[in-house]
Amino acid sequence: MITPTEIRKKAENKYLTFLRSVLERQAFNPIVIVGNKKPNDDTAQFEKELTELIAHSKEKKGYGYSIEYQKVKTRKHGEQDIPVSISFLTEQDYLKYIGKEQGTVGFRKDVERILSAFPELVEWVCRFPNKVLDNHELWGDLLKVCTYFRSNPKPQMFIRELPIQVDTKFIERNKGIIKELLDIIIAKSVNPDETRFETHFNLRYDEPVVRFRVLDKAMSQMLFSGIDDLSVPINQFQEVEIPVEVVYIVENKMNMLTFPPIHKSIVVWGHGFGVDLLKDVMWLRSKKILYWGDLDVHGFQILSELRSHFSQVESLLMDRETFNRFYEDGIGAETNVEKVLLLTPEEKEMFDFLRGGNYRLEQEKIPFEYASSKIPIIKK
């Protein structure tokens, strides 16, 4: 026989369905709880279970589930009134039994506030009544944020600069729910391909920086008052085209710092797969680009990634001659890359060789003198 504990659990599981019926303004329909359990064959246990079931019913408590009986002759217990249906006949019976009276009152008020301000959220509310419930204490501030963005869909400010009367960390703590709401409210103003909250909603953020050196002394003097080692936010690097002919990208920071002077050139510190940061720097598309990475599988994967954004990229010091001269006993990292890499036949052959032997030659193991002799020099 079903127990009161099982009835409560099944009743609670129907709560979200009940809330959807509230949103659809449906009249309350009795909620039926299916038991699917036969009476216990042990007479004493059967009577104990039946007594407990009745003790927690509306018949005894004044609210909760009602029991419908059917007189049945049983082999073990003789003629007995057996529970055949358990149901909540009124909304009050149901909500009081599962302890959701106040929660439902709050839900109705929250829904009224939300939809009176943003009727376009009606489908979201119907789909996610649980999220309306979970954020009961936050709706005042959530609606302030939504109201601001409706009037200012492209703020171009840091989150903590926004003139919204909420806790300074409120938006940062509640990005998930805010994103769901704003994606509906200001759908035409978001950047759908951006996954970062700030860029998705046209906000500023603490951007990663690009570190580079100007290798032409005259150019550094002309552009940066003689400063040749600079770190700038990526958006500034995108916007200010540096009038160079060649851009070198290296993985090792010390190699960036010791790169030889070269006319009309800069060297950028790539630091691994961070080169992907450069993909939207449009002015690089018109420059000659040389990439110098580690001689291992990851180095060639990074080269391929960079080439997917800038097809003109050439590799530097990533050949068999360099490997044979300076390889000692470096062990590479394993890779399960399956996509076709954008490599020349020679680079692909080198990649397969390194992968097969799990070899690695870090670029800092290549002597400065040798590297300098192989770096193409642009003449004045």
Neighbours of 130 (CB within 10 A): 11
Count H helices and E strands in the chain, helices first.
19, 9
**DSSP one-letter string for 109-155:** HHHHHHHHH-GGGHHHHHH-HHHHHHTGGGHHHHHHHHHHHHH-S--
Per-residue pLDDT of the chain (380 residues; tens, 9 = 90+): 788 999 999 999 999 999 999 998 899 999 999 865 566 667 788 788 889 999 999 999 999 999 988 877 766 656 777 788 899 999 999 999 999 999 999 999 999 999 999 999 999 999 999 999 999 999 999 999 999 999 999 999 999 999 999 998 999 999 999 999 999 999 999 999 999 999 999 999 988 899 999 999 999 999 999 999 999 999 899 998 899 999 999 999 999 999 999 999 999 999 877 788 899 999 999 999 999 999 999 999 999 999 999 999 999 999 999 999 999 988 887 777 777 899 999 999 999 999 999 999 999 999 989 999 988 765 54
Whole-prediction pTM: 0.67
Residue 47's contacts (CB-CB under 8 Å, 6 or more residues apart) are none
Full set of structural domains in the chain with CATH: 4-99 (no CATH), 102-200 (no CATH), 209-374 (3.40.1360.10)
Going 307 to 310 to 311 to 314, the CA torsion angle's sign is negative
